[in-house]
């Protein structure tokens, strides 16, 4: 068993859910997280269009030439960028397939597309029935 932890853009969640469902692995856990990568957050101009205002004070200003100039000379204003973290536990043999499809759907080509981590899982239990390991995630 492997755990796939995918930290992706917020607007890609419905598509990825659909793709996972089509592949036969509909079970997942979704969490709202804030993250930063090598770019140490995001600048105003680079941020997601759906970024909430609280993440960017300059975005609240009316776009006039002076505020535009201000926006583009601002230092890194957002320390964190909102992301969604998907956690999926699957059998070993389908990990590559799922990772590839998540990358295919989550791709935009810009910074901030996210990371996917694959980690081993020692055991699993389905609480309702008490089934262990492989049966629990089937």
Partner 1 sequence: MKMIRAFIRPEKEQEVVLALEGAGFPSVTKMPVFGRGKQKGLQVGPVHYDELPKTLLMIVVDDEDEKQVVKLIHEKAKTGFIGDGKIFVSPVDTAYTVRTGEEGL
Query: Smaller CB distance to partner 1: residue 61 or 108?
Result: 108
Strand partners, 81: 35
Query: Smaller CB distance to partner 1: residue 9 or 59?
Result: 9
CB atoms within 10 A of CB 90: 23
Query: Smaller CB distance to partner 1: residue 3 or 133?
Result: 3
> Which residues of this protein are in contact with partner 1, per CB under 8 A?
2, 5-8, 31-40, 79-80, 83, 85, 99, 102-103, 106-120
Supply 63's token pair.
Answer: 């776009």
Q: SS3 for 4?
A: strand
The phi-psi region of residue 11 (left if phi > 0; otherwise alpha if psi is between -120 and 50; otherwise beta) is alpha
């Amino acid at each position: 068993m492997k755990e796939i932890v995918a930290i992706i853009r917020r607007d890609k969640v419905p598509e990825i859910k659909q793709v996972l469902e089509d592949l036969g692995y509909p079970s997942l856990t979704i969490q709202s997280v804030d993250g930063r990568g090598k770019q140490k957050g995001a600048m105003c101009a680079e941020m997601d269009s759906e970024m909430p205002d609280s993440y960017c004070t300059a975005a609240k200003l009316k776009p006039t030439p002076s505020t535009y100039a201000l926006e583009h000379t601002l230092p890194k204003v957002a320390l964190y960028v909102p992301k969604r973290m998907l956690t999926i536990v699957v059998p070993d043999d389908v990990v590559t397939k799922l990772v590839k499809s998540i990358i295919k759907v989550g791709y935009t080509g810009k910074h901030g597309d996210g990371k996917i981590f694959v980690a081993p899982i020692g055991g699993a239990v389905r609480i309702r029935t008490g089934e262990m390991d492989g049966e629990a995630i089937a």
